[in-house]
Structures are given as C-alpha cells and as structure tokens.
Amino acid sequence: VAHALPAADGTIGLLALNAEVQVCTWNGAAVERVWQPLLSIFAGPGKNRLAVNQMLSAFRFPVRASHSGSAFDRIMRPQGVALPILGVAAQVRLDETGQRVVAASIAIGPAGPIPFRATESEAILLAAPRMDDRALEAAIVAAQRQAEVRTSKHRASKEYRHEMIAVLLRRVLPQAVARAQAQAE
C-alpha cells in the first residue's frame, strides 16, 4: 500500500471496504499514531505522502453491517507483470427487503493517478429504486465516464481497460449483491 500503486489488488480491496490506515510518526522520542483515510496517503503513481520518519502500521475497517456483501475481481496477463490490467472491488449494503442499495463503495484500479473510487456509480446505485440490470448498466456508464484509464505499454490499451470496467462491474456488483442477499436469509 505504501508503494502507492493505483492498480495494487490489496489497495483496491481496502478502498472498497472503506479502510483507514494508521500512520506512525517517529518524533525522536516517541511514536505518534494517527488514523487517516486510506486515500490521504497517496500523492500519485508510486508516490505516497509519508515523510521519512513515517510508516504504515495497521488498517481498520468499519464494522460490517447486516445485509452487506463484497466482491473483487481482476483481469491479468497470464504470465505478465504482477499488477493487473484492471481490478474492481465493490461493497454494498441492502435494505431489509434485499432489493435496494443503501450503501455502496466501488474501487477501480488503475483508473487514475491514485486508487479510484467510482463515486458517480455509487450515487446511481443509492438513487435506484432497486438493484437491477438498469441500475447496473447506469453504474457502469458512470464508472467508465469518471475513470481516467490510460494505455500501458506493459499491460493494456486505454480502450481495452475502458471496456473491462464494464466486464468486471458486471461480475463484481451482482456477486456483492448476492452475498448481501444471502446474509438476509
């Protein structure tokens, strides 16, 4: 996580789970520990905001609510570099009927210079009267519009990554919803 790679699997999952990071600062006499939002430590691709006397020591997550589910998937080259072409993680919480999304977080990477939350997609899911194909497709369009995917000579073109956002969201969101619905039973 401290390497600040916008495509790192762990970072994408942590972001979707609304993780906070504990930053430890050595001041010469003692260690000060401060909890911060995960995104606050990223400055750009491969660049974090940590000083030379700081390190990450722990992660914490909000207590998982009932009717919640999460999922992660990625697309990689079979024997390529360790970083994925694209990764997507999502967490949803459903109402007591198991039909309407009342909380959502979607992380996509690499989809910008730092790990990326698809906030427009999240808002669409929250506004939808029920989680159905129409809401899913609207969330996909919003994520594709909001993401800043780029071409990588080692992994994939911008156009391919753009299309893979749709492929992965069509896998991950229904899986997260199914897991949340299974909790309700």
Handedness of CA 177, 132, 87, 112 (dihedral sign): negative
DSSP state of 112: S
Both 180 and 99 in a single domain? yes
Domains identified in the chain, total number: 2
pLDDT at residue 90 tops 70 = yes
Both 79 and 31 in a single domain? no
Split at pLDDT 50, 70, 90, the class of 79 is: low
pLDDT at 94: 96
Q: Which residues of 52-81 are buried (b: 16+ CB within 10 A; e: fewer)?
A: eebebeeeeeeeeeebbbbbbbbbbeeeee
Report percent pLDDT > 90 for the chain.
Answer: 77
The closest of 122, 97, 96 to 108, measured between CA atoms, is: 122
Tens of pLDDT, residue by residue over 110-123, are 888 998 999 999 99
The domain in which residue 173 lies consists of 68-184
pLDDT at 3: 86
**Residue 12 located in a structural domain:** no
CATH number of the domain where residue 93 is located: 3.30.390.50
pLDDT at residue 184 tops 80 = no
Both 93 and 177 in a single domain? yes
Both 54 and 83 in a single domain? no
- pTM value is 0.92
**Residue 106 located in a structural domain:** yes
pLDDT at 155: 80
**Residue 110 located in a structural domain:** yes
Strands 101-109 and 20-26: unpaired
pLDDT at residue 46 tops 80 = yes
